[in-house]
Structure 1
Amino acid sequence: MKITQEKLPASQIGLEIEIPAETSKNTYEKVIKEIAKTTNIPGFRKGKVPRPILLQRIGSERIKAAVLEELIQDSLEEAIKQESINALGNYKLRSDFEELINTYKPGEVFTFLAAVDVPPEVTLGQYQGLQVKAEEVVYNEEDVNKLINERREKLATLIPVENRPAQMGDLAVIDFEGRKPTETGEEGEIIPGTEAKEYQVELSDGKFIAGFVEGVVGMNIDETKKLNLTFPDDYHQKDLAGQGVIFTITLKDLKEKELPELDDDFAQEVSEFETIAQLRESLEKQYQEKAANDTKQNIHGAIVAELLNHTSIELPDTMLEEEIQTILLQTANQLQSYGMDVNQFFTRETVTKMRETAKPEASKNLHTNLIIEKIAEQESITIGDDELAVKIAEIRETLKDREVDEAKLQKYVKHDLLAEKTLDWLQEKTQVELVPLGSLTPEEEEDSERENEES
């Protein structure tokens, strides 16, 4: 069998395969016999049908099609093995199949064209001495205070309010109803979904539409008040967005929160620590580590973005399709974890749209992984067995009650460790300018990408 290779775009190898006349004839005879054994023609026993009658009943075109399918499949597998091609996924027939049927003659040399996807070549550009900007995440003591206050709120005691009006922070019990204003400004019919009895609401910003909570503040128990308000333009009920409403509100009851003291007793109730100092120290350490880790991830992200501008890769369709499938599977697993019915969500139409939406992400993921793997290979960056074992043990602790595919877990952990180790190495070789959080807007990033493409 004669095989000629050529390099094609999109990480494909083109193959011209010439099948010897003898192989062509032998395959034809083999297929004819198999068809004769399984074909039922009245008046003849299976396997005993004369060839002319078999050809007449089945049709020579159908028989040649069956022969060619076997010839192409077998010869492609043999060619890939013979040429030691690291093929990905299924082959693509480049010759027109109908034309092959018309020109094929048993016992003569048969030639066809095909293509197979192969792992892409990664042509690394500059990856040392890069200059990047990354947003710095700075530890903020207010984050610790906010978390502690949230825990205090959960342990708050509700105390009935007497002899004062409602104020922000109180818990109010109200009756209310919303009516459409008429052209003359009077109250019209009740708006569905805008009425309730004995409704409990915390008087704080962001509750209800603008002006509602502020209207309750200052009311006394048993007082009734009318508020002329407007639903926001982005209100979830589209028919009410931007529309006016007259609310009638009666304050039925009022309570204030009595927060626990920030002392050692509080620390022992909400944590495993004995003192409030230990609790605060632990939270400060957690938030400091999170800020440092978030900054590191921003740096790594900036390095990856810069690497993508310096590296050329042609992705094969097979690899791209597999990555898209992985993204869709992750989405399905996430939806299931939320208790959603995946079968109802994943309709033919939504899957088609999701596949298109996932393409850019899949492409970026593959480019990133291939670049990092190539740099790791070039710089001899590896993961030791001990490193791998320690990390896998940590992850197993978090997956105690779940079945785990050990082979997949090991592959996943090794990939992540290698990526992190390589990016840490790259960070040492990169000039990083840390900028304030939020200063690298999407518009600026897009402008930077356009400049890189033009240069």
Structure 2
Amino acid sequence: MKLKKEFKSLEKSAVELTVTIEKAEVESAYKSTLANYVKHAQIPGFRKGHVPQNVLERKYGDSIKADTIGTLIDQSFDEIFKEETENRPLPYSQPVMDKAPELDITKELTYTVHYDVFPKVTVKDFSGVNVKEPQVTVSDDDLAEELKSMQERNAMVIEKKDATVAKDDIVTINYSELGEDGNVIAGSERSDFVFTVGSGENIYKIDDEIIGMKKDETKDITKKYKKDDADPELAGQTKKIRVTIKAVKIRDLPALDDDFAQDCNEKYKTLADMKADIKKNMELAASRRVKEMKNNSLLEQLVEKNKFDIPASMLQAELDGRWRMMAQQFQTTPEQLDKMIAASGQTKEAMLEQWTGDSEKMLKSRIIVDCLIRDRNISVTPEEIEAQYAKIAEEGGMTVEEVKKHYEDPRAKEYLIDDAKENKLYDEIYKEVKVSKGDKMSFKDLFSNVQ
């Protein structure tokens, strides 16, 4: 197809494309469209396929012209983007035409569209980048805490013999809020509420106040809440709560011995085996988390040093994706989620606005990684992928064949390749920037802010 194209860069990674199609192409497309109308048109008084062209042009002239324009635009787009990569529209950015062109078969056809493209970011300056690497060691206390968690997960809950409430007991209570007249406030009653004393997982935070109470005992508790209490409905208030202890239970923790290890997993023969394996997994988890924190710090600094705007359609697609994921988490549809949020007094628009900042940062980080991988021509060899299979198998306690079977899915394999490319990129960059020792952190603190 004979045409001329002109790209003009706009703000926020948008492009304006002006296309001029030669007169001969316009005339040919019009004749082809008209011939198709002649072939299929059915008009009273004429046999199918024998309607004169001038009759069709009088009756369907506007439609014939519109179809011709549509055909020319589609064909020109196919022609332009068959080889064009730099100015290709984003998948979710539909080209917009502000003004439809007019068809005159004696003239060239010119039209203009605008759309979003992938941002062009060139990252060359790494001066001033300083990545701090947290210093984490899995201590005996960390291991002991993990073992305690395993004990609790495998514990049996049994009735407490003396039935006196103490910290860490599991209690069942009935409660209600009392008014100034000492009567129960309607609607505040709750029966058979279960929680662990000391967890604070109860509305009125009365853990300390019920310690020492016995089963079937009832007590009226008056509690004053600080003005800066996290719960705005309690902050600065004084509440009177009537509580009755219905049950007091404890967790009967299994002994930490070889039998316990074997019960947890048949691959363990002794408690020592289990401890060694748990520590290895904790160290591996810590290493991955430290790596993630390093990479996040690096990208935050690169985003700050390399200013660019996110295309509007890219940001909207990201926000829409997060909304759909939230709907899946609530096991509902995005449309139903809209109604649920509205019923709670919030709006979808307000929530998307809250997400915008984090979404922009995440998208900018992703774009910088993609651009660096492209600019540095980073690729991975089949041998490197095989090494990746072996590493995953070793860390996961699987065979290489099991790992390969998992990555038979083309999308999973593509994800693995992309991850390998990113790892190679980070390895290169950390040779070019300053990496210094960060603060010492416990294993628990390392994961305290993970979302």
TM-score tier by shorter-chain length is 0.7 to 0.9
Q: CA deviation at 1:420?
A: 1.7
**Aligned pair in 2 of structure 1 residues 246, 132: CA closer, same or farther (>3 Å)?**
same
Supply the AA of the counterpart residue of 2:149. E
Aligned to 1:78: 79
Supply the AA of the counterpart residue of 1:177. Y
Supply the AA of the counterpart residue of 1:149. K
Q: Is the Cα–Cα contact under 8 Å of residues 389 and 403 in structure 2 kept in the other structure?
A: no
Q: Is the Cα–Cα contact under 8 Å of residues 262 and 276 in structure 1 kept in the other structure?
A: yes
Aligned to 2:262: 268
Q: Match of 2:435, SS?
A: strand
Gaps of 5+ in 1: 439-455
Q: CA deviation at 1:246?
A: 3.4
Which of residues 284, 290, 293 in structure 1 aligns to 2:285?
A: 290
1:306-455 equivalences under 5 Å are 306-311=301-306, 320=314, 325=317, 328-329=320-321, 332=324, 336=328, 338=329, 340-342=331-333, 344-345=335-336, 363-379=360-376, 381-391=378-388, 394=392, 397=402, 406-436=409-439
Q: Is the Cα–Cα contact under 8 Å of residues 167 and 203 in structure 1 kept in the other structure?
A: yes
Q: Is the Cα–Cα contact under 8 Å of residues 16 and 113 in structure 1 kept in the other structure?
A: yes
Q: CA deviation at 1:30?
A: 2.2
**Aligned pair in 2 of structure 1 residues 331, 415: CA closer, same or farther (>3 Å)?**
farther
Q: CA deviation at 1:358?
A: 6.4
Q: Match of 2:104, SS?
A: coil
Give the CA RMSD over aligned residues.
4.2
Supply the AA of the counterpart residue of 1:66. D
CA radius of gyration, larger in = 1
Supply the AA of the counterpart residue of 2:200. G
Supply the AA of the counterpart residue of 2:426. L
410-419 or 357-366: bigger deviation: 357-366
Q: Is the Cα–Cα contact under 8 Å of residues 17 and 114 in structure 2 kept in the other structure?
A: yes
Q: Is the Cα–Cα contact under 8 Å of residues 383 and 418 in structure 1 kept in the other structure?
A: yes
Aligned to 1:443: none
Q: Give the paired residue count.
A: 419
Query: Aligned partners of 2:262 and 2:286: how far apart in 1?
Result: 26
Q: Is the Cα–Cα contact under 8 Å of residues 319 and 356 in structure 2 kept in the other structure?
A: no
Query: Aligned partners of 1:334 and 1:252: how far apart in 2?
Result: 37
Q: CA deviation at 1:316?
A: 5.8
Query: Aligned partners of 2:24 and 2:415: how far apart in 1?
Result: 48
Query: Aligned partners of 1:262 and 1:41: how far apart in 2?
Result: 91
Q: Match of 1:122, SS?
A: coil
Query: Aligned partners of 2:3 and 2:246: how far apart in 1?
Result: 92
Q: Match of 2:105, SS?
A: coil
326-335 or 29-38: bigger deviation: 326-335
Supply the AA of the counterpart residue of 1:266. F
Query: Aligned partners of 1:219 and 1:244: how far apart in 2?
Result: 22
Q: Match of 2:184, SS?
A: strand
Aligned to 1:69: 70
Q: Match of 1:428, SS?
A: coil
Which of residues 175, 178, 185 in structure 2 aligns to 1:177?
A: 175
**Aligned pair in 2 of structure 1 residues 6, 172: CA closer, same or farther (>3 Å)?**
closer
Normalised TM-score (structure 1): 0.74
Aligned to 1:110: 109
Q: Is the Cα–Cα contact under 8 Å of residues 267 and 275 in structure 1 kept in the other structure?
A: yes
Q: Is the Cα–Cα contact under 8 Å of residues 123 and 313 in structure 1 kept in the other structure?
A: no
Q: CA deviation at 1:208?
A: 2.3
264-273 or 27-36: bigger deviation: 264-273
Q: Is the Cα–Cα contact under 8 Å of residues 167 and 211 in structure 2 kept in the other structure?
A: yes
Supply the AA of the counterpart residue of 2:385. L
19-28 or 133-142: bigger deviation: 133-142
Aligned to 1:123: 122
Supply the AA of the counterpart residue of 2:365. T
Q: Match of 2:202, SS?
A: coil
Aligned to 2:222: 228
Query: Aligned partners of 2:389 and 2:351: how far apart in 1?
Result: 32
**Aligned pair in 2 of structure 1 residues 389, 181: CA closer, same or farther (>3 Å)?**
same
Query: Aligned partners of 2:416 and 2:377: how far apart in 1?
Result: 18
Query: Aligned partners of 2:215 and 2:337: how far apart in 1?
Result: 52
Q: Is the Cα–Cα contact under 8 Å of residues 195 and 202 in structure 2 kept in the other structure?
A: no
Q: Is the Cα–Cα contact under 8 Å of residues 121 and 314 in structure 1 kept in the other structure?
A: no
Gaps of 5+ in 2: 394-400, 442-451
Q: CA deviation at 1:301?
A: 1.0
Which of residues 263, 274, 279 in structure 2 aligns to 1:279?
A: 274
Q: Match of 2:372, SS?
A: helix
Percent sequence identity over matched residues? 21
**Aligned pair in 2 of structure 1 residues 13, 134: CA closer, same or farther (>3 Å)?**
same
Normalised TM-score (structure 2): 0.74
Q: CA deviation at 1:117?
A: 5.8
Q: CA deviation at 1:275?
A: 3.1
Aligned pair 1:248/2:242, yes or no? Answer: yes
Q: Match of 1:43, SS?
A: coil
